[in-house]
Chain A
Amino acid sequence: MLKYTLKRFVYMVMTLFVIASITFFLMKLLPGGPYQNPERITPEVKAAFDAKYGLDDPIPVQYVNFIKNLLQGDLGMSFKYANRQVTDIIADTFPNSALIGFEAVIFGTVFGLLFGIIAALKRGSFIDYSVIIIATIGVAVPSFVLGAILQYVFGVQLKILPVATWGSFAHTVLPSLTLGALVVATIARLMRTSMLDVLSSDFLKTAKSKGLNTGTIIWRHAIRNALIPVVTILATLTMALITGSLVVERIFAVPGMGDYFVTTIYTNDYTLTMGITLFYSALYIFSIFLTDVAYGLIDPRIRVAGRKE
């Protein structure tokens, strides 16, 4: 198991290295440079700027320097946000994104599972169809529409929740709901399908014929087995949500890092783009690792298989 984990760790680092390299070269393909004022920068000032930050070195030289710094754990300073370390910017904004992300995941998972289970148990009923319809809408309606509607209804018209900005728990409710809607829909659909699958399987029929009571069957056998596909997506879904959503953060003026995924690319802020990409990748890879561990906990068969290796 230790050897297995170590091996996986090495793969993780290698994956990150490949991601960093690809990101580096992709960014160098972008037109322009990390100038604040690209429209008016004079050639003389541009030359001085490039010289200062080594941007006029040949690309391979820049790449080697970049990797050297990276190996020392130095992500550097943002080009746009003067004198601010990339790590500081992530440390400032990530907790806000993560808070909303976690709230969305909790809200989405609880309601998603609930809806999914009920729909599966009452298959073909009114409740089932309602859940399917809600889930379809949840997946189909983009967050900028849902966000705008929630903001207008609860913020501007009813005035029960803050329209936007940041500060208290109340401020997190609407963005979390907006973000969570997709989670509810995704998980409800998945759970329903997976439950139906399990409910019609042979071992469940056996359990029923053995005379176990329905509660035990559903709880111990059906739900537990049906959860596996949900867990598979849950970890990666969580990582995607806690790193922030550009749209939701803009609509509700959340000081998170979602915005940086896009804006840093527009401004060619090489260091910040790199830092955020690596941070996200690391989280993502880590979440895949967690998924594997979680499998084992839920399904002993996978744990056994893992041990054999």
Chain B
Amino acid sequence: MKKKSFLLLLSVVMVLSVALAGCGGGTENTATNGEGSKPTEDQSTAKQNVSSGGDEGEAQLDAEQVLHVYEGAEPPELDSAKSTDAVSFEVLNAVMAGLTRIDETGNPVPEMAEDWDVSDDGKTYTFHLRDAKWSNGEPVTANDFKFAWMRAINAENASQYAFIFTDYIKNAEGYFNWTAYQLDPDKYMEDHDEVPEEVKAEDVGIKVIDDKTLEVELVAPTPYFTSLTAFPVYLPINEDFFTQAGDKYGTEDDQLIYNGPFLLTEWQHEKGWVYKKNPDYWDADTVKLEKVIVDVIKDPNTALNLYEAGDLDLAPVPPEQVPLYQEDPNYFTWTDLAHFYLVFNQDINNYQGPNPEVIKALANAKVRKAISLALDRQGHADIVLNNGSLPAYGFVPYGIRGFREANGDLFQDDPEQAKQLLEEGLQEAGVAVEDFKTIRYLTGDSESARKTAEFLKENLRSTLGIELDIQQVTFQERLKRSREGNFDLVLSGWGPDYNDPMTFMDLFVTDGPYNDGGYSNQEFDDLIKNAKVESDPEKRMQMMMDAEKILIAEDMAVAPLYFRANANLLRPYVKELHFHGIGPSREYKWTYISGKNQ
């Protein structure tokens, strides 16, 4: 009896916390249920649907705690300091433990760090590590973190996520530049005007106070730093083991040691692997799953067939299959917090193409707004995507610290106003209507990219009489052309690296490396710059909201299109499997099997 009432309480608390989080708290991401109506509502339904398996709160564990899932690829890089891809992140998150881990609601909870102190200026974090062991019996120490992080910021290792350290940690950027210079002075000087200042390893703001204490000094107060420390690139690496494994490190399951909830076993390249419960994990009591069997399935339709045959507990639903499964009780969608938007090329100095007049027109905010308002976003999300993706009327997606909920929709689709704006805008820009009849539209080569392109083409043709010249190219070619300015419009996507609106907002500062359209607005730049050093969280949030209003409502620097969701099927006996949009997308630590053989 006692147990039951406790569970009831627990489920009430859970539902409440989710509801609260949905109302502007800090929920990161959860699965959304079927039809995407209101995002806040979705998140709470999803919670029940996906993670807890209903209000009953029955936690009858099955005797057999085995989960069978798929991955779309082999993990290419299990050296956490150099890892970048989704599959590697997921594997690392299951078998390793960082300072913190992201819980169900998207908030960081203690993992290897028992607790931490933050200095008054918000710039120094002192992490107190708990007694934990690697799978070879060695203790997890502060040096394991320092060693891993220093590798990531040493240019010699060419870690592609180095910026997730150098942007935050004191002197990390200097150290990166110095090591890059050391690597090849001549080449460094080709890109830079002066020799970088020497930064020694000990000057970097990562300090080992003792075996169990790690002190991190930051460049600026970073309220989300403990979320960052849950990011896989921040995981610890045992120096002795790493040195001993040499260049075999991370290539086989016995070439790694583990400190996470699971151990990586039976890894057969390209075929799959098995996570086995780690008995030495500090929080082993919480981990219920004995085994997670992972098969590499590259074709989503195959995964779906395996699910139908009972060989998988989780399956993706490819877009063309959505209508068949939408009514299935096990169908659910979850947003991965990625935003897809149209970039307008508005920088005539960085333009390659046949018709500079188009760029001249796109440099005008009214013209950009006209194109943006002419799009039917709801129709696109419902008809073309049809998988729970939401139409976007702002830049930062739902589910990132309540930002979108608080800043609201910044505009509406409005074909009538669009016509008028186009006329005015072209006049202001001094571009003849005939010169703005055809716009190049650059996009990916997938089937869904083609459908989106055709939908948008029809939108613009019917409302504004503008023809889109659709150019479908491979991913790499699209990136190349985007960076070179060889486009008029391009469909781009961005997903968050950490749980804060800044991961989206600082894309569009003047001359930012991802600001392909060449948008520039001094007021926006100042707000972002100030927000980055502001220590009052509320003021900081306000600055970013104001910045977003300038970016979208005033300037329409880009045209938001949709916040992406993924459609999946999950067997109802799988409980508490959490889905996240940031970092590793599945979290197995709290998952259990209940009622499989009923």
Binding site for B on A (CB under 8 A): 30-32, 35-45, 47-49, 51-53, 56, 80-84, 89, 92-93, 96, 148, 151-152, 155-156, 159, 162-166, 249-253, 255-256, 259, 266, 268
What would be 8 A-B contacts, judged by CB atoms less than 8 Å apart? A32-B480, A35-B160, A36-B85, A45-B158, A52-B158, A151-B302, A156-B305, A253-B302
The 8 Å CB contact of B476, one of A48, A52, A82, A268, is: A268
Q: What is the bound-complex CA distance between A44 and B160, given in angstroms?
A: 10
Task: Indicate whether A151 sits within 8 Å of B296 (C-beta atoms), given known contacts A84-B251, A163-B311, A268-B476.
Answer: no
Contact residue among A45, A148, A266, A268 (Cβ-Cβ distance under 8 Å from B159): A45
- Evaluate contact between A83 and B248: CB separation under 8 angstroms: yes
Tell me the B82-96 residues at the A interface (CB within 8 Å).
82, 84-85
* Residue B79 interfacial (CB < 8 Å): yes
Q: In the complex the two chains form, what is the Cα distance from A37 to B188 in whole Å? A: 22
Question: In the complex, A151 Cα to B155 Cα: how many Å?
Answer: 48
* Contact with B308, one of A43, A156, A253, A268 (Cβ below 8 angstroms): A156
Q: Assuming the A-B contacts A36-B76, A148-B301, A255-B296, are A266 and B180 also in contact, with contact meaning beta carbons closer than 8 angstroms in the complex?
A: no
Residues of A within 8 A of B497 (CB): 40
- What CA separation (Å) do A80 and B251 show in the bound complex? 12
When distances are taken between beta carbons in the complex, the residues of chain A under 8 Å from B177 are: 44
Interface residues of chain B, those whose CB is within 8 Å of chain A, are: 74, 76-79, 82, 84-85, 155-156, 158-163, 176-177, 179-180, 183-184, 187-188, 191, 247-251, 268-272, 295-299, 301-302, 305-306, 308-309, 311, 474-477, 479-481, 497, 513-514
Contacting residues, chain A, for B301 (C-beta < 8 A): 148, 251
Q: In the complex, what's the smallest C-beta–C-beta distance from B272 to chain A, in angstroms? A: 7
Q: Which residue of A lies closest to B164 (CB)?
A: A40
Q: Is the CB of B76 within 8 A of A80?
A: yes
List the A side residues contacting B271 at CB < 8 Å: 165-166, 255
A-B pairs with CB below 8 Å: how many? 151
Give bound CA distance, A303 to B308, whole Å.
57
* B160 contacts A49, C-beta separation under 8 Å: yes
In the bound complex, what is the Cα–Cα distance between A304 and B522 (angstroms)? 85
Complex Cα distance, B163 from A78, in Å, reads 23
Which residues in A have their C-beta under 8 angstroms from that of B188? 47, 51
Residue of B nearest to A92 (CB): B269
Cβ A48 vs Cβ B305 within 8 A: no
- A256's partner among B162, B251, B270, B302 (CB-CB below 8 A) is B270
Q: How far is the CB of A138 from chain B (nearest CB, A)?
A: 22
A32-B476, A45-B163, A253-B299 given; A92·B270 CB < 8 A: yes
- Output the least CB separation between A169 and chain B (Å): 15
Chain A interface helix/strand/loop/mixed: loop
A86 to B82, CA, bound (A): 19
Chain B CB count within 10 A is highest, among A47, A83, A162, for A83
Task: Say yes or no: A83-B251 contact (C-beta < 8 A), given A45-B158, A165-B297.
Answer: yes
The distance in angstroms between the C-alpha atoms of A269 and B159, with both chains bound, is 16
- On whether the beta carbons of B180 and A48 are closer than 8 Å, the reply is yes
Given contacts A151-B302, A255-B270, contact A163 B309 (CB under 8 A): yes
Contacts of A32 in B (CB 8 A): 476-477, 479-480
Nearest CB on B from A54, distance (A): 10
Residues of the A chain whose Cβ atoms lie less than 8 Å from the Cβ of B302: 151, 163-164, 250-253
Question: Once the chains bind, are A82 and B270 in contact (CB under 8 Å)?
Answer: no
B306 to A37, Cβ gap below 8 A?
no
When C-beta atoms are compared, the residue in chain A nearest to B497 turns out to be A40
Please pick, from A82, A151, A159, A249, the residue contacting B251 in the complex, using a CB distance under 8 A: A82
The reply to whether A253 and B158 contact each other, CB–CB distance below 8 Å, is no
B187 and A38 contact, CB distance less than 8 A: no
**Complex Cα gap A93–B298 (Å):** 15
List chain B residues, Cβ under 8 A from A96: 270
Most B CB contacts (10 A, CB to CB) among A81, A252, A268 go to A81
In the docked arrangement, what's the CA distance between A151 and B84, Å?
Answer: 34
Known: A80-B76, A82-B82. Contact between A165 and B479, CB under 8 A? no
Q: What residues of B have a CB within 8 angstroms of the CB of A251 in the complex?
A: 299, 301-302
User: Bound state CA distance, A22 and B497, in angstroms?
Assistant: 39
The interface residues of chain A lying within 8 Å CB-to-CB of B250 are 82-83
Contact B305 A42 (CB under 8 A): no
Q: Is the CB of A36 within 8 A of B180?
A: no
**Contact residues in B for A36 (Cβ distance below 8 Å):** 76-77, 84-85, 160
Contact B159 A164, beta carbon cutoff 8 Å: no
Known pairs A51-B180, A165-B272. 13 more at Cβ < 8 A? A30-B476, A36-B85, A36-B160, A37-B84, A48-B176, A49-B160, A51-B184, A51-B188, A81-B76, A83-B251, A156-B305, A251-B302, A253-B298
Report Cα–Cα, A48/B192, bound state, in Å: 13
CA distance A217 to B302 in the complex (A): 49
Flag if B162 contacts A45 (CB, 8 Å). Answer: yes
When distances are taken between beta carbons in the complex, the residues of chain B under 8 Å from A164 are 297, 302, 305-306
Contact of B480 among A31, A256, A266 (CB under 8 A): A31
Chain B positions within 8 Å of A165 at CB level: 271-272, 295, 297, 306, 311
Residues of B within 8 A of A156 (CB): 305, 308-309
User: Is A253 touching B296 in the complex (CB atoms < 8 A)?
Assistant: yes
| Beta-carbon contact of B79 and A83 below 8 Å | yes
Instruction: Find out whether the CB atom of A253 lies under 8 angstroms from the CB atom of B474.
Output: no
CB distance from B14 to the nearest CB of A (A): 34
Smallest CB-CB A-B distances: 6 pairs: A255-B270, A32-B476, A31-B480, A48-B155, A49-B158, A255-B271
CB distance from A72 to the nearest CB of B (A): 18
Instruction: Return chain A residues, CB-CB under 8 Å to B78.
Output: 82
Among A84, A93, A166: residue with most chain B CB under 10 A: A84
Do A48 and B158 touch (CB < 8 A)?
Answer: yes
Docked Cα-Cα span, A163 to B513, in Å, equals: 45
Chain A residues near B183: list those with CB within 8 A: 48, 51-52
Residues of A within 8 A of B84 (CB): 36-37
